Copies of this chain bind each other. A is one copy, B any other.
Amino acid sequence: MAFLEALRAEIGAAQVLTGAEAAGFGREWTGHYHWTPLAVARPGSTAEVAAVMRLASAAGVAVVPVGGNTGLNGGTHAEGALMLSLARLNRVRGLNAATRTVVAEAGVVLERLHEVAAEAGLVFPLTFGAKGSAMVGGFLSTNAGGSNVVRHGSARALCLGLEVVLADGRVMDLMTELHKDNTGYDLRDLMIGAEGTLGVITAAVLKLVPAPAGYGTALIGVESLEVALDLLNRVQAGSGGAVEAFEFMPARYMDRLARLKPELACPFPPQPVNILIEIASTRADESPSALLEEILGGALEAGLIGDAVIAGSEAQRRKLWLMRESAAEITFTTPNLVDTDVAFPLDRLETFLHRMTARLAVLDPGAEELVIAHLGDGNIHYTAYPTRDDAGLRDTIRAAVAEEAVALGGSFSAEHGVGLSKRPTMAAHKNPVALEVMRAIKAALDPRGILNPGKTLP
């Protein structure tokens, strides 16, 4: 094929994988999607990414950008398409401690960013379970969230500048490190979360924050979400907004954890609502752990808390976090499940869970459900385990979750994006004018429709 020959000539034959070499790229780790890519291109620089896109654009070849491939919605599905791996663009181009910014290429792994920041006494606050594999380009293209969004925002809020290769190979340089920059349309945020359908992110300027002088971390058990949200407000008020994470693990999650990872079993009899809470502060004059203990002590006296454990050491803190970070492992025990990612205004979470439990019982009596939530953001990962392997039933459950979410003013995709799996939901629930505008922008920036075709847009 002339296209692949030209590609080899441009970036080197060793960086164009086909056949068995490419086959390993043809699946999502959940097992939900499998495909056979045309080939996998592994350019080593922005200029080479641009060259790949020029060739693909001229040949009309579909291109699916891929980073750590840790997505959950089929966003890198690439049947017959060229997969464009950003893994070799893995340089940290620089870190400026004075301006608290780091310039990282698309293939830098999230955990490496954490390490690089820590060496400078700083923190890159985005974090989630897949941090050991997820890459900059991927977490920006999906506007990933995770466990620290309640304080630091999603990926979008942590990105100051971008470098993007467009469908035809033009390089758009938006690499500012400024916090204020009103020079024209917000193209940065348009590219973030576009799931590789408008351009290929090759590098970014990311915000860092000062390393806290200390953390206060606790696991607390309460009887209801209402009490938990009251507690969130108390801790926010009492700590001056220092809550970094507020993660909800229901009793069923704790049971599953105890079964599958006994060493991470809940240290007290699981309550209906168990919350991992963490506060952090740069203040050297007081201990966040002591402050958290004091605030929780007040809540205990008020009868709000059933049980609680405060981490007394970094090792104990890590252990509490491992309970939460085991979520994917604990959830994805079978491909025959329905994983969802919905968000709500905080005052409507409980209603959703009640409605969904009732509805699942009708759709598939005997089906189990598992919930884990970034509660501080109103973001629930609701998973259903149907009693039988039935794609139609899975679609019905998925549609029901989206319907209940939208009916309560929620979103059918909080932080995982749309990809392939939520295209029908987009068609059903996204504002039709917004869809028209999205299509107009897609046509304007990628007129041949070669960038991650069939994703995001229904």
Number of residues on chain A facing chain B (CB within 8 A): 86
* Measured CA separation A281–B142 after assembly (Å): 33
Known A345-B99, A441-B185: A180·B238 in contact at CB below 8 Å: no
Closest to A436 in B: B170
A414 pairs with B190, CB closer than 8 A: no
- A227: B residues at CB distance < 8 A: none
Q: How far apart are A433's CB and chain B's nearest CB, in angstroms?
A: 4
Q: Is B438 touching A441 in the complex (CB atoms < 8 A)? A: no
Which of B154, B240, B437, B440 meets A283, CB within 8 Å?
Answer: B240
Residues of chain B within 8 A (CB-CB) of A180 are 145, 149, 154, 343, 374, 377-379, 411, 414-415
Q: A98-B347, A166-B437, A440-B445 are in contact. Are A186 and B182 (CB under 8 A)?
A: no
Cα–Cα distance between A182 and B186 once the two chains are bound (Å): 17
Chain A 138-160 interface mask (CB, 8 Å, partner B; 1/0): 00001101000100001011000
Give, as a whole number of angstroms, the nearest-CB distance from A452 to chain B.
Answer: 13
- Let me know if A282 is at the binding interface, CB within 8 A: yes
In this complex, what residue of B is CB-closest to A199?
B437
Q: Is the CB of B182 within 8 A of A415?
A: yes
Set of chain B residues within 8 Å of A379, measured between Cβ atoms: 180
Apart from A173-B434, A213-B237: 12 A-B pairs, beta carbons within 8 A? A174-B434, A178-B344, A178-B409, A183-B411, A184-B193, A184-B457, A185-B190, A185-B194, A185-B441, A238-B283, A240-B283, A440-B444
| Binary interface encoding of chain A residues 374-392 relative to chain B, with 1 for a CB under 8 A from any of its CBs, else 0 | 1001110000000000000
